[in-house]
Copies of this chain bind each other. A is one copy, B any other.
Amino acid sequence: MQEFTKFPTKTGRRSLSRSISQSSTDSYSSAASYTDSSDDEVSPREKQQTNSKGSSNFCVKNIKQAEFGRREIEIAEQDMSALISLRKRAQGEKPLAGAKIVGCTHITAQTAVLIETLCALGAQCRWSACNIYSTQNEVAAALAEAGVAVFAWKGESEDDFWWCIDRCVNMDGWQANMILDDGGDLTHWVYKKYPNVFKKIRGIVEESVTGVHRLYQLSKAGKLCVPAMNVNDSVTKQKFDNLYCCRESILDGLKRTTDVMFGGKQVVVCGYGEVGKGCCAALKALGAIVYITEIDPICALQACMDGFRVVKLNEVIRQVDVVITCTGNKNVVTREHLDRMKNSCIVCNMGHSNTEIDVTSLRTPELTWERVRSQVDHVIWPDGKRVVLLAEGRLLNLSCSTVPTFVLSITATTQALALIELYNAPEGRYKQDVYLLPKKMGETSPHDPHTLKKIFFKITFIFFLFLSS
């Protein structure tokens, strides 16, 4: 439904990704801004920095921000218990001893917990950012201070981007044997520039749709000489990203932006897919009266049996207090709808893209826009009516809420388990192919389904054990 990470591969067009929102910049704004707004405009590439142990095997914005970053990592650790359990349990046997992992992901507190877990399990890691904007500089500094070879900062140029990746791969006396990638850029770079390294890689773990797509292209062309595993599309991850995550972020996003009381409010939710189901469950539970619009009859029947009135948007638009879109379609809320809303109506989007609400139609001379808070606009009609538009129609959960660390820990734990599996798998268990985790329970896979399902099952079960520990 929501493809958080499906950005184009041209770095120049990379949009803001999830990792930015999760940085919850609001919460520590004062501290963060003091460190971020460094007037120091010297490029990190030109700086000479060493950490407290004398190492300069990294390149970050400002190593002095390490302490603040360490605290962010400590906060993240509190809700990543599966990963911490893995760290503790597997620490004795060091299942990644000898692994030389080169990684390219968003650099956030949560990925830092992953990276430090991999190290604790015996791996050597070198890391760069998969997005030129998403690096939390303080976290990068903390990693560098802790001895990880990290090459990343917020606001890299495209040239910086590839330079960082190259610094990870290209090091005398060190040759990567595992790849952890998000988007496929690192994989592509190794494949193109260091074919001899590529051949000796034991396995690739890829998080994104884009990256998997590129791997398939390699595979089709007969050039993929390494087993690869896609950790994105499992049913577990999908449920978390959509149903469970949105059940919480709809409340959080609305509260942080508008302080609205949910009890007694009339809300219309457009679309009753997984995202819509999550939004509706939460709002209903807190005492809102929820209406649904839905064109898919199966989803409509589900809404019906879950106790929601399925309506046409026109029927309720005059009476509702909140309008939420999560259909994946365009122009679900039109200017005509907006014209008919009552004063104070809140409009926001939880769906796929930023086109569900026809925001463009509101940029006309007779309407006044007033930015009343960050991410909150009052659009004012000539008669004084105000519509409260959140995040200018972009994704509310990414713009105005945070992705819970716990949700991120699911992917991170799966990545760690996938790396362990690929690194320790006996010769022949995996072929030179792309392994896609089952999308649906019970679904078969084209690649030796039984083995794979067993593995997936095992991974999920271990994961569950960690969770409930």
Contact = CB atoms under 8 A, between A and B. Distances in A.
A373 B282 contact: no
Contact of A252 (B255, B308, B378, B386): B255
A335 to B, nearest CB: 21
Interface stretch (A11-19, A150-158, A459-467): A459-467
A248 B262 contact: yes
A45 to B, nearest CB: 30
A167 to B, nearest CB: 31
A220 to B, nearest CB: 21
A360 interface: no
Contact of A298 (B235, B282, B290, B407): B235
A147 B190 CA distance: 69
Interface in A237-287: 239-240, 244-245, 247-248, 251-252, 255-264, 266, 281-282, 284-287
* Most chain B beta carbons < 10 A, residue from A28, A72, A468: A468
A110 B388 CA distance: 18
Nearest to A260: B79
A247 B258 CA distance: 17
Contacts of A374: 27-28
A91 interface: no
* Most chain B beta carbons < 10 A, residue from A28, A262, A297, A309: A297
Nearest to A378: B74
* Leading 4 A-B pairs by shortest Cβ distance: A285-B285, A261-B404, A261-B406, A78-B344
22 contacts: A27-B256, A27-B373, A72-B372, A74-B370, A75-B373, A79-B258, A79-B260, A236-B298, A239-B301, A244-B261, A244-B305, A248-B255, A251-B286, A252-B252, A255-B255, A259-B402, A259-B404, A261-B405, A264-B467, A287-B304, A296-B441, A304-B467
